[in-house]
Structure 1
Amino acid sequence: MEILLQEWLSIKGFILFTIGLLAAIIGVLFGAAGFILMPSLLLVGIPIHTTVAVNKFATGISALSNVVSFVITGRLSVKKYFSFMIVSCLGGVLGAIFAILLSERIMNVVACISLIFAFMMVLRSNKWIVKDVKEMEEQRINKLVPFAISIYDGGFGPGSALMNITYFLKKQHHYLKAVELTRMISLSSCTGAFLFYYFTGIVNWGIAIPVSLGSIAGSFLGLKIIPYIQTKWIQIILPIIFLFLLVQVVTDLIK
C-alpha cells in the first residue's frame, strides 16, 4: 500500500491525473475520451492491454459519478433503461474477451471500420442536432446498436461514446439527454469489460487510481460546461473529432 501511495503522489501520478482530467472533459462534451486517454497512456509507456483496462476503469468511475447525479436529480431513470444497461454490460464483457483473443492490429481494423461507418453517419446529415427540447419527437432506440457499440467499447474504446451520442441524436434526443444516456451505457459497458480484465489480472492500480480521480473531476467539469455548448459548435466539432480518431487508428494500422 505504501508503494502505491508513493506512486500516486509522484510526478507520474500527477501526469496520469491530468490525463484522466482532460480525457473526461472531452469525453463528457463530445464522447471522445479515448482519443485523449489511450494515446496518452501509450505515450507514457503503458502496455496496450493495461491501457485498455485502465481506460475502462477510469471511464466507468467517471460515468458512475455522472449517472448517480442524474438519478438523484431525477433526470435519468435506471428502471426505464435497465435493460439497456444489462445489454451494454454484456457487450462490454464480449468486447473484452475479443480484445484478449485478437491481436492489437485486428482490433485496430475493427476500430477503423466502426469509425468510418459512424463518420459517414455524421456527415450524412446534421439536421438531427436539435436546438429546442420542445421541437423533437424522440424515436424508439434499438438495443442492438448500444450492444454493438459496447462490444467495441469493451475491446478497444476510442470513439464509442461519440458513436452513442451520434446515434441518440439521430433518434431525435436532445443533446444533453444523449449525453446522459451515453454516460449510462458507458458505465455499463465499462463495468462489464473491467470486471473481465480484473479477473484476468491485467489491471494496474498504480495507474488506474490517479487516472480515475482525474476522470471523476473532469466528468463534473464537463457537465458544467455542456449548457454553454452551442449547437453550431457540435455540428462542427463532432465530424472533426471523428476525423482525428480515424487518422489515429489508420496511423496505428500502417506502422
Structure 2
Amino acid sequence: MSELIFSLFSFEAVTLFGIGVVASMVGALFGAAGLVTLPAMLLVGIPIHTSVAVNKFATGLSAFTNVMTFFVKKEISFKKTIGIIIIAICGGIFGAFLATLLSENVMNIVACFLLVIALITVLLSRKYINNLVKQDKEQKINRIIPFIISIYDGGFGPGSASMSITYYLKKQFSYYKAVEFSRIVIFSSCFGAFWWYFFQGIVDWAVAIPIAIGSIVGSHIGIKLIPKIQMKWVQIALPLIFIVLIAQVISNLS
C-alpha cells in the first residue's frame, strides 16, 4: 500500500494525470479519449490488456460523474435510460471477456474492421451532423447498436464514443443530447468491462488512479465546452478521428 501511495506522487503519476485530462476533454467533446489514452500508455510500456483495463476504469469513472450530473440536473430521465444502461453493461462484460481470449493482433484486426464501418457511416451520413439545437423529432433508439458499440468499447475502446455520438445524431438527437446519451452508454460498458478485468487481475492501480483523476477533471471541462462547439468542427473532427484511429490500428498490425 505504501508503495502505491508513493507512486501516486511520482513524475510518472503526474504525466498520467495530464494524459487523463487531455484524453477525457477530447473524449467529452468528440468521443475519442482512447485516441490519446491508449497510445500514450502503450508508449510508456504498459501492456495492451492492462492499458485497456485502466482505460475502462478511468473513462468509466469520468463518465459516471457526468451521468450523475445529467440525472441531478434532470437533463436525462433514469427511467428512459435504464434499458440502455443494462444492455451496455452486458455488452461491456462480453467485450472484456472476448478481449481476454484474443491476442493483441486479433484485437487490432477487429478494431480496424469496426472503425472502417464507422468511418463509412459518418461520411455517408454527414447531413444529420447539422443538429446543434434540440430536436423535437428524435427517432426511436434501436438498442442493438448501443449493445454492439458497448461490446467493442469493453474489449478495446478507441472510437466507441464517436460511434455512439454518430448513432444518436443519426437518430436526430441534438449534439449535446447525443453526447449525454453516449456518456451513459460508455459509462455502462466501462462499468461492466472493468469488473471483468478486475476479477482477472489485470488492473494496475498505480496507473489507473492518476489517469482516472485526470479523466474526471478533463471530462467536466469538456462538457462545459460542448455548448461552444460549432457543428462544422464536428463535421471535420469525427471523420478525422476515425481516419487517425484506423491508421494507428493498421500501424500496430505491421
Normalised by the shorter chain, which TM-score bucket?
over 0.9
CA distance in 2, matches of 1:135, 1:62: 27
Q: Which amino acid aligns with 1:116?
A: V
Change (3 A) 1:166 1:134: closer
Residue 248 of structure 1 corresponds to: 248
What SS is found at the alignment partner of 1:3? helix
Residue 99 of structure 1 corresponds to: 99
Does the Cα contact within 8 Å between 1:130 and 1:172 map onto a contact in 2?
Answer: no
CA displacement 1:42-64 (0-9 Å, x = unmatched): 10111111101000000000000
Count of aligned positions: 254
CA distance in 2, matches of 1:134, 1:199: 41
Alignment of 1:151-166 (within 5 A): 151-166=151-166
Residue 198 of structure 1 corresponds to: 198
What SS is found at the alignment partner of 2:116? helix
Q: Kindly state the Cα deviation for residue 237 of structure 1 after the two structures are TM-superposed.
A: 1.1
CA displacement 1:159-186 (0-9 Å, x = unmatched): 0010000000011100000000000011
Does the Cα contact within 8 Å between 2:131 and 2:172 map onto a contact in 1?
Answer: no
Unmatched 5+ stretches in structure 2: none
Residue 115 of structure 2 corresponds to: 115
CA distance in 1, matches of 2:14, 2:20: 10
RMSD of aligned residue pairs (Cα, Å):
1.0
Does the Cα contact within 8 Å between 1:165 and 1:182 map onto a contact in 2?
Answer: yes
CA distance in 1, matches of 2:253, 2:134: 44
Change (3 A) 1:208 1:124: same
What SS is found at the alignment partner of 2:127? coil
Which TM-score applies when normalising by structure 2? 0.98
Residue 189 of structure 1 corresponds to: 189
Alignment of 1:22-33 (within 5 A): 22-33=22-33
Residue 230 of structure 1 corresponds to: 230
1:220 aligns with 2:217: no
What SS is found at the alignment partner of 2:152? helix
Does the Cα contact within 8 Å between 1:91 and 1:151 map onto a contact in 2?
Answer: yes
Q: Kindly state the Cα deviation for residue 132 of structure 1 after the two structures are TM-superposed.
A: 4.7
Residue 125 of structure 1 corresponds to: 125
CA distance in 1, matches of 2:241, 2:252: 17
Residue 74 of structure 2 corresponds to: 74
Does the Cα contact within 8 Å between 1:136 and 1:174 map onto a contact in 2?
Answer: no
CA displacement 1:183-216 (0-9 Å, x = unmatched): 0011100000000000111111111000000000
Which TM-score applies when normalising by structure 1? 0.98
Identical amino acids, percent of aligned pairs? 54
1:145 aligns with 2:145: yes
CA displacement 1:14-55 (0-9 Å, x = unmatched): 001011111100000000000100000010111111101000
Residue 207 of structure 2 corresponds to: 207
1:46 aligns with 2:28: no
Change (3 A) 1:79 1:134: closer
Unmatched 5+ stretches in structure 1: none
